[in-house]
Amino acid sequence: MDGALIMVQVLNGLQLGILLFLLAAGLTLVFGIMDFINLAHGAFYMLGAFICATLTVWLDSFLLAVVLAVPITFAVGVVVELGIARQLYQADHLEQILATFGLILIADTLVQMIWGPEGMTFALPEILNGQVGLFFGIEFPVYRVLIIAVGLLVALVLYLVVSHTRTGMLIRAGASNRRMVEALGVDIRMLFTLVFAAGAAMAGLAGLLIAPITEASIGMGNEILIVAFVVIVIGGIGSVQGAFFGAMLVGLIDTLGRAFLDNLLQLFLSHQAAETSAPAISAMLIYILMAVILYFRPQGLFGARAS
């Protein structure tokens, strides 16, 4: 097996893991702090992609579009939290699931009405096209390297904010004991709005980063949201650190499984049987991983143990 090919697939897995982290970080904070199950979180992923695509066409600048699309998605998150999500915090989880599933349908319909059913594609600037030489003579797309770098930077900033600022202290306290934070006089509603909108902005960032590679399409956030839920279950609900390591683990296993599982199975099965069974098994790998981790550690890798 070619070592260079393995390293390229590892980098592809890291890129997928970064995108999953950006989506899962906000999701795990919203779930961990607010006890709010938001199935519509993937809609922000979709909106970020469409907003960035539109601004890129209008402004003829992808980088400027990125700078503008993230705060716009943050603002949309504020509106959704104030107008809809806040009314659901006291509801039980079934009502939250039903309501946010309805939001998915509304978001998909609104996007189709505004942008049409075809989706949007746009070209990257010339500076982000092409390949860059890495270690051992490996070449990798410049833009994918940028995605990994941006994701790692966001993860570092989020770690510093959560671990070393007063706001982060309140976020961690709210995840551990929301009622105690309220009793100390903290405006918990403002904290909720900030966390919800920040999660929306990170999801939007993930969507706009992947849009030039695939496209901005209706419902693009729904499938990846399922994987994001797997990430936060593996990492531990409410843990940003868990979301990061869970996302890296899922990204690598999913990518490497799809790339090399058929070769591994050919050691035990016929070529035809390996080629037939590999796609199905690779699609199951992350769910098998989740089941194994939950068996040995029900709270997830970095989740707090139940007292």
Domain count, the chain: 1
Per-residue pLDDT band at 307 (split at 50, 70, 90): very low
Q: Does 194 fall in a domain?
A: yes
82: containing domain: 11-217
Dump the DSSP string for the chain: --HHHHHHHHHHHHHHHHHHHHHHHHHHHHHHHH----TTHHHHHHHHHHHHHHHHHHHS-HHHHHHHHHHHHHHHHHHHHHHTGGGGTTS-HHHHHHHHHHHHHHHHHHHHHHH-TT-B--PPPGGGSSEEE-GGG-EEEHHHHHHHHHHHHHHHHHHHHHHHSHHHHHHHHHHH-HHHHHHTT--HHHHHHHHHHHHHHHHHHHHHHHTTTS-B-TTHHHHHHHHHHHHHHHH-TT-HHHHHHHHHHHHHHHHHHHHHHHHHHTTTS-HHHHHHHHHHHHHHHHHHHHHHHHHH-TT-SSPPPP-
Q: Which residue has the higher pLDDT, 93 or 46?
A: 46
Per-residue pLDDT band at 99 (split at 50, 70, 90): very high
Q: Which of 11-15, 179-183, 242-246 has the lowest mean pLDDT?
A: 179-183
pLDDT tens digit sequence for 238-262: 888 899 999 999 999 989 888 888 8
pLDDT tens digit sequence for 289-303: 999 999 999 888 887
Per-residue pLDDT, 101 = 92
The whole-angstrom separation of Cα 10 and Cα 227 is 18
Residue 213: closest CA among 134, 125, 143 = 143
pLDDT reading at 275 higher than 50: yes
Residues in the chain: 307
pLDDT reading at 131 higher than 90: no
Q: Does 292 fall in a domain?
A: no
Residue 44: closest CA among 118, 122, 124, 104 = 104
Per-residue pLDDT, 174 = 67
Judge contact between 65 and 52, C-beta under 8 A. Answer: yes
Give me the residues paired with residue 140 across strands: 132
Residue 25: closest CA among 150, 173, 145, 159 = 159
Residues 228-232, mean pLDDT to the nearest whole number: 92
First-residue to last-residue Cα distance in the chain: 48
Q: Does 149 fall in a domain?
A: yes
Q: Does 22 fall in a domain?
A: yes
Q: Which of 26-40, 73-87, 173-187 has the lowest mean pLDDT?
A: 173-187
Q: Does 119 fall in a domain?
A: yes
Q: Which residue has the higher pLDDT, 184 or 101?
A: 101
Per-residue pLDDT, 180 = 72
Task: Sort 179 into a burial class: Cβ within 10 Å, 0-12 / 13-18 / 19+.
Answer: exposed
Per-residue pLDDT band at 304 (split at 50, 70, 90): low
Per-residue pLDDT, 177 = 66
Q: Does 125 fall in a domain?
A: yes
Q: Which residue matches tokens 């897995």?
A: 13
Per-residue pLDDT, 206 = 94
Between CA 192 and CA 201, with CA 195 as vertex, the angle to 5 degrees is 140
pLDDT tens digit sequence for 14-70: 999 999 999 999 888 888 777 888 899 999 999 999 999 999 999 989 999 999 999
Q: Does 38 fall in a domain?
A: yes
Per-residue pLDDT, 306 = 47
pLDDT reading at 154 higher than 90: yes
Could you tell me the CA-to-CA distances from 138 to 33, 37, 65, 116, 248 in Å, in that order?
Answer: 42, 42, 30, 40, 21
Per-residue pLDDT, 300 = 87
Q: Does 267 fall in a domain?
A: no
Instruction: Return all residues near 278 (Cβ < 8 A) that are at least 6 apart.
Output: 261, 262, 265
